[in-house]
Structure 1
Amino acid sequence: MRFNILLSITFFATFAAGLVIPTNGPLEFRDLEVREGVVDDLSDGMVFKREPRSSGAKKARIAAAASEKVAAKAARKKSFEHAAKAQKGTTNLPNRHSTFHVAAAPGTELEKPAHSYTGKEVRKAIFDSHMEAHRIKGITKNQRKKSPLKSFNNRPHEVPKPHGGARPLKHMNVVHGSAHHPPGREFPLPNKHDAAKPSPARVIIQQTKGGHYTFRGVVSHDQSRTPGPGYNDHFQVKPRRH
């Protein structure tokens, strides 16, 4: 802006300097009056532009975005603290070095590959489920439907496997309306082959009568099954010790 002002002043001074002429007669006076009029018109037409200023609405948007960022960070911190406390009180956690293996679908290994998880990864999924449980407390019912955290009722298999149990987890009892045997929590393990697709495996935890949680096991869909009866059945994935 200063450069524009200086340039305008320089131009004005240069132009005015050229108007100094001898005044020896009426013609010269007439010419001088014309030139003075031109100078007046030029000075009236000079507009000095200001640098654009931030509008009040823009400042308000910036302030609101900063406030939301701070609030989101505080909410994540609170969820993390809640999860850490809940994880500390969770019993029956798997050995960190154990392995949970989900078999691939025969003949369709590329579409439904095998999945393997360590006990450490299972523990992390349990921790993430505690974080998610705290996060969804402050959202609407419709938003909760999009959460990966689901209720697990340990329902009987629609199509049981030969020599298998009637339910996914035989040591887990669910009694609706009971404070001692409430429905469990189901949270997915990550899909290591394609993060955009859900994994067939989930961790299951259940609240105890003392208010804490206990790990009930890992369950998975049978990837060899095709859509139809029993397609959504869950089966326990037992850990392998090394």
Structure 2
Amino acid sequence: MRFNVLVSITFLATFAAGRAVIPTDGALAPCSELEALEGAAEKLWGAIVFRSSNAKKARIAAAAPGKAAEKAARKAQAQRARKEYQATTGLPHRKTTFHVPGAPPKLPHTYTGKDVRKAVYDSHKEADRIKGLSKTQQKKSPLKDFNNYKHALPKTKGGGQRPLRNLKVIKGKPNRPPGKEFPLPDTHNPAGVGPARVITQTKKGRHNFKGVVSHDQSRLPGTHGYNDHFKVKGKKPKN
């Protein structure tokens, strides 16, 4: 559309120039037709700019309610997540550290209590987001059920039979996974996912932080016990 208009204006200007009278002394003589055509071209361009500006304003105005609604929805979601987070018990001190040893080529990861708290908040936010989605869509979520299964290959020292001793099956709901897991980020590449997870449990609408678990990074994919999770003990800050 704009290209066609520009072609039309160019044609008018060229036509006007062709009608100009050039005397023998080289000076361009005034021409009423030229002036009229130039004026018409200017008016045409002004009208196009005006219409384009109005169309842009109309598009912005039409999109504004949708954007405002999206912004309001995100704000409401964040408020609900914050409310659930504030009601979560057992959260670690912000300066507590959780260290996951590395095993070449896998790098070690160290998380703070602040990192863990943020992951718990994000898990509540994600739980709110996936409400009402299909089961297929929910399966794509980073928020997963955590069954606290027995280790396929227990460690010879420590580790216990299960990742978290304090995570029990909810009474009266033996078939329901006792917890939820949400990933902590890769400390070397924050856009990625690290080997550790925060675990929470909800009973009668009350949330409780149960701990941090991680894969044993010395175990190779496909080997026996690779999918085992082990508790990552927090190291409290010195007073």
TM bin (shorter chain): 0.7 to 0.9
57 and 116 in structure 1: CA distance in 2 versus 1, 3 angstrom threshold: same
1:219 aligns with 2:217: no
What corresponds to 2:143 in structure 1?
149
> CA–CA distance in 2 between the matches of 1:174 and 1:232?
20
Q: CA deviation at 1:93?
A: 1.1
> CA–CA distance in 2 between the matches of 1:43 and 1:80?
62
What corresponds to 1:121 in structure 2?
115
What corresponds to 1:15 in structure 2?
31
The 5-angstrom pairing of residues 132-143 of structure 1 reads: 132-143=126-137
60 and 95 in structure 1: CA distance in 2 versus 1, 3 angstrom threshold: same
Q: CA deviation at 1:240?
A: 1.1
> CA–CA distance in 2 between the matches of 1:58 and 1:201?
48
1:169 maps to which of 164, 177, 188: 164
Aligned amino acid, residue 194 of structure 1: N
Task: Decide which structure has greater strand share.
Answer: 2
Query: SS in structure 2 opposite 1:137?
Result: coil
What corresponds to 1:93 in structure 2?
91
Aligned amino acid, residue 146 of structure 1: K
Deviations 1:96-143 (A, max 9, x none): 2211110011xx1xx311111111221111111111111222544433
> CA–CA distance in 2 between the matches of 1:220 and 1:144?
22
What corresponds to 1:241 in structure 2?
236
Question: Higher Cα Rg: structure 1 or 2?
Answer: 1
Aligned amino acid, residue 178 of structure 2: P
Deviations 1:163-209 (A, max 9, x none): 43111111111359729x75311111121101343100010000023
Q: CA deviation at 1:230?
A: 1.3
Aligned amino acid, residue 206 of structure 2: H
> CA–CA distance in 2 between the matches of 1:237 and 1:100?
6
1:69 aligns with 2:67: yes
Q: CA deviation at 1:144?
A: 2.6
- The count of residues paired between Structure 1 and Structure 2 equals 207
1:112 aligns with 2:112: no
The 5-angstrom pairing of residues 51-70 of structure 1 reads: 51-52=47-48, 53-54=51-52, 61-63=59-61, 65-70=63-68
Identity of aligned residues (%): 54
178 and 63 in structure 1: CA distance in 2 versus 1, 3 angstrom threshold: farther
> CA–CA distance in 1 between the matches of 2:66 and 2:220?
45
118 and 57 in structure 1: CA distance in 2 versus 1, 3 angstrom threshold: same
Structure 1 gaps of 5+ residues are 17-38
Instruction: Judge which range, 66-75 or 138-147, deviates more.
Output: 138-147
TM-score if structure 1 supplies the norm length?
0.72
TM-score if structure 2 supplies the norm length?
0.73
